[in-house]
Amino acid sequence: MNKLFLDIGNSRVKRALVSRGDYEVLPAVDLKMFLSNDSFDCFFKNKKIDAIYITSVTTHDNLERIKSLIQEQCQLFPIVLTSQKSACGLTSGYTDFHKLGDDRWMAMQGAIGFYKEPFVVISAGTAMTIDAVMDGKHLGGFIVPGLKSLRSSLAMDTAALSVIDKGSLLDCTNSANKGCLAMNTEAAILGGTLYMTVAYINTLIADLNAQMKTAFKVILTGGNAKQLHSLINAECELIPDLVLQGMINIEESVKNN
């Protein structure tokens, strides 16, 4: 049986195919392209899909559009995986567990499948979400602007500035690693927002470690995770497909029960 898992974010769709126990991460695709009727079917050509599972943070209209396209072109009704009160050894910390973002829940599910020690999941996307887990319980978390959102808002509100969120980002990251100040406006924006984000993360982890009297491992995922990875002070691991791993864990637990 071939199962397709879709992690639908604000700008990209990450995909994984599970077939008879084999796990294959497929290339991520642009959300706007994925929503296009003309290009949608190309993502499923030459692949026999028996079931499709979705976790989404996109708009209701976008999600309904994707579900409709799947039904039309794959003759399948996708199953939407959402936050739960508890599953797979993890209990939600939210009083109303329905209000916890489905992507945050799936990311924690992916992490708890690998780690039993205390950990913090940081999903560095358009928004950056931070969630702490200890002894199988979600302790809570934060949502703050991601790197791209910070840079875009700065450019939007400052008439003389424009931001290219690619290109020299690698150079800026290298400069930040060396502790150098920026020598041009673009690098100043890229490096400044990077430093600000990393300082926030490192301060939060230090405060959490002190409060809970233990060391939390950091697990990074999301589109900007790679830029943050080497700058985190705590023990840190990068898992790009963490949400997809969590979705698979949830699906398997339901199947086994």
Residues marked as catalytic: 103
Tell how many helices (H) and how many strands (E) occur in the chain: 9, 12
Integer Cα distance of 69 and 176 in angstroms: 44
Concatenated DSSP letters of 113-150: TT--S-EEEEEESSEEEEEEEETTEEEEEEEEE-HHHH
Q: Using alpha carbons only, how large is the chain's radius of gyration in Å?
A: 19
CA 191 to chain centre: 22
Sheet with 86-87: list strands edge to edge: 86-87, 90-91, 137-145, 127-134, 119-124, 217-221, 236-238
